[in-house]
Structure 1
């Protein structure tokens, strides 16, 4: 990459990455030290390597070095992907030409399960490539081996200021999650935690028709839902409208969920929150959830949510939006693209808008979020140039968030035939990239000057302009990034520091691995029964006792042991 850097276009919703680095067989050759699966210094050879390396984060390796990786191939490009495309992509070429890093793929796997299995075998055998991208669970397993390099000094000396800013944009939690025994054993490939926050999506056209205010409290929301069900806002003469879209997995963030509604009552299901005594407790088992369950039970009894919601996944539940029959939805910032765009496609006069989640009182509610690290990048112990990982990530951050030319953007991250972000070997996403895109796009519309927008932002700007000119197919860009988009209230969440962060960000404890899935299943079953009236809130203490017997007591102890030790 040249010295002129430019922010590049990335996906508005970067939830799925198709290419990930995986563990696998080692390779000897080039400038790499032999890999015998053991470290001569207890996994702490990074400092020595860095001492001898030039302290220049952007310096090209000369002569070039070889770096072995394993490649996992997944949706959405698995079908069109070929090994030849990857090995000859602009990313792999640039790594060699501009960084002096020759990437050597050891294998390719397709599908998440195959990739995980390959990883497990590699770690268990002690035979891994020079660079691997792992999950938090796999990182915990690696921390108990001598396979990794301590990257503490590597990160400090070889991160550009921009890379450090990006990795710590949401605090030091990401780095802490990659630290074991005081050693930074991986570089976290960060993503946005705030983009997982819940919003209240409302059919503003129906609120206007029924002369209803935008709900700010749970009481106002109930009044609005009741009116939508009883006053025929779609004007078809039938009582077929639904107040709130809900799916059977309503504790999973995304669409047709209920997390935002629980948060309205200061309840945080599936999150670890700090109690008054300073200990961490499991949000699903705290008494605050009872008020939320009572509220949902009321909605259910009065027919404000579908009677068969418990049989519908999020996709099926979202069909209510496409059919134009639902007034409210709790969901993520991207719901303006799906499923709300389908409403606009089928009902051109419809108008979904996002608002902050409601609150039980006049105080703003706190939307829950959790640490979002897409992958942890580990360098094999004994590899001569562990600083290579930082050069790869620096390359990514400068391309995406620095100043580059349009030509460079198009080559790496533009429309086809550009390979896109899926082909990058290592990356760290900016947590507030989408929020900043919204702020810059809306400012451009206010001033009439779009010259300061990068290619991604200009794409949003152009599509919003098309919508303003009458192209309803582009309503989705306005509903997320525009002046009336979800990010206008994301900005309020950020400015008012409203997020409730999950306090546990470590690898699964032993009890979690064995029991948490059963606990979570028991939670959703009890919650669903209470909402549908086949169980009672009066049994809440009995329910919590059952969770403890299922292992919650042991999990809680281990979580607090982790909290005390970190």
Structure 2
């Protein structure tokens, strides 16, 4: 507007000067003067319109500089905050929560500095209780982190703050300042992480998000498989055939072989449970998830569970699972695996790091290898809880609502760099608290680990330049390459080259095989508690385990026992829980 007014005044002054010059220099008649004046007036009007149009066009073409997700503030921005801590933290000399190399790095990058109002241990609810008092007293800092036992608890705190009009709507700030990598990370899970902290369509916090890594793999004693000349398993039926072969041939000797080691004492699909079998039937026995209609159901009572249990029952009947599997705890399963008597076990991709390496300590010739077994739908099925249980929020009225977004942009872009990794490994080598940075909330693509494995495998196979791998993957590549090219054909290759073997089996074989399959991820719809859950869920879980055990052990007809269990589960509180969950999610 000021530019347009200045242009108009300039034009009028020029018209005035021109008119004065004409009148003073010409002794003309009134008619002539009138005509000239009229002409001057028309020219002035035309010039004024042109000037206005020119300035309008200039205003339209004048663009505001785009927001910089990594932009450094021109002057130091100090913001008040709080933070959860660990109990009895030990830092490297000269380091603390307040003053450390990572916060200094962030200050250098963004020109921002946290000022801590208070800190409290996260364990034991001390941090949450103190934060609740601060909220109740309307005394919150500029930017702070909300934590909780589960996502529902965190969401409740966010909702409380929103209803009290105490925190900022970050929708616009996120759209403008979140880096492309951050936006891609959330998009990898269809923005589920962000949606958890939206109220009436508005985003009120920046959550963390972790990568999915809960796929269930079938780990096989590959030295036994090769000795018996058995093909690598590609289907569940192949796994059953290998278990039968191990039972019949007894490779451990003296009738001590346990074809399939399995733990199912109190959890349906825990650390050493039959999760890989449930996955085959798209069955998730401890997950509350949404069905095709959008209603929340409990996975443990769905028909496909019964199909899974029948497969496990056959393995039990054939003597391929220990008779006392229902009594074994985690420690006993670890002892079994360490003894070298087990042939197959369900485990995560990192199982070779713990506890499967213990087998090699007693059986130097042993070799465990993981297999990703696609389900009937051709996909790698997996159940998953939501990937975010912490969030950063901003006090209403804080001048820089985009600050935590920019902080997380910078942190997540740098946490895997050589400097960051080496600093954590070297400077913080002997520290029990390595996360001294004010906010080290990771925001990862849910397929991040799978994608890392895909790149590592490609580099090992000569399909990708190893120099393009991120620094954090260099060691894995080097170890895998050496094992595959030089070591794996040697006697006792695994036990004599433990680190190379572990990297190969976890990254190359486990996640590398998972990367070749399409994933079908079924997310939990509810990770909190309801009133009936608090009163009855423990008893319902015991009811579930009792029914599952009876079916597996053949102590009851599978169809009748399962149907009775489903009926009892619903009547003894299950239906009330589902009603409470659906009501909570509809609010």
Shared fold (TM-score, shorter chain, > 0.5)? yes
CA offset at residue 371 of structure 1?
A: 2.5
CA offset at residue 356 of structure 1?
A: 1.9
Residue matched to 2:364: 348
Residue matched to 1:220: 238
Q: 1:213 to 1:160 in 2, by over 3 A?
A: same
Deviations 1:472-530 (A, max 9, x none): 22111111112xx201222123xx2x313125156545554554444334323432343
Residue matched to 1:481: 507
CA offset at residue 263 of structure 1?
A: 1.8
Unmatched segments (≥5 aa) in structure 1:
1-51
Please say which of residues 511-520 and 433-442 is displaced more in the overlay: 511-520
Residue matched to 1:198: 216
Q: What pairs up with 1:111-122 in 2 under 5 angstroms?
A: 111=123, 113-119=125-131, 122=134
Residue matched to 2:395: 380
Larger radius of gyration: 2
Q: What pairs up with 1:70-469 in 2 under 5 angstroms?
A: 70-73=83-86, 78=89, 84-105=95-116, 106-109=118-121, 111=123, 113-119=125-131, 122=134, 127-129=139-141, 130-135=143-148, 136-142=151-157, 143-145=159-161, 146=164, 147-193=166-212, 195-234=213-252, 236-253=253-270, 255-275=271-291, 277-357=293-373, 359=375, 363-364=378-379, 366-400=381-415, 406-407=418-419, 409-411=421-423, 413-417=424-428, 422-424=435-437, 425-427=439-441, 428-447=443-462, 449-465=465-481, 467=483, 468-469=486-487
Structure with greater proportional helix content: 2
Please say which of residues 452-461 and 133-142 is displaced more in the overlay: 133-142
CA distance in 2, matches of 1:539, 1:365: 29
Deviations 1:194-250 (A, max 9, x none): x1121111112212222223334443333321221231213x334343423324244
CA distance in 1, matches of 2:326, 2:527: 32
CA offset at residue 138 of structure 1?
A: 2.7
Residue matched to 1:549: 571
Residue matched to 1:472: 497
CA offset at residue 284 of structure 1?
A: 0.6
Q: Please, which of 495, 515, 527 is the counterpart of residue 491 of structure 1?
A: 515
CA distance in 1, matches of 2:131, 2:395: 14
Q: 1:78 to 1:264 in 2, by over 3 A?
A: farther
Q: 1:273 to 1:430 in 2, by over 3 A?
A: closer
Please say which of residues 124-133 and 180-189 is displaced more in the overlay: 124-133
CA distance in 1, matches of 2:202, 2:530: 19
Q: 1:241 to 1:362 in 2, by over 3 A?
A: same
Q: 1:268 to 1:138 in 2, by over 3 A?
A: closer
Q: Which has the higher contact order (CA 8 A, sep 6+)?
A: 1
| RMSD, aligned α-carbons | 3.2
Secondary structure at 1:291 match in 2: helix
Secondary structure at 1:451 match in 2: helix
Secondary structure at 1:333 match in 2: coil
CA distance in 1, matches of 2:374, 2:181: 36
CA distance in 1, matches of 2:250, 2:97: 54
Unmatched segments (≥5 aa) in structure 2:
1-63, 488-492
Deviations 1:5-58 (A, max 9, x none): xxxxxxxxxxxxxxxxxxxxxxxxxxxxxxxxxxxxxxxxxxxxxxx9993322
Secondary structure at 2:239 match in 1: helix
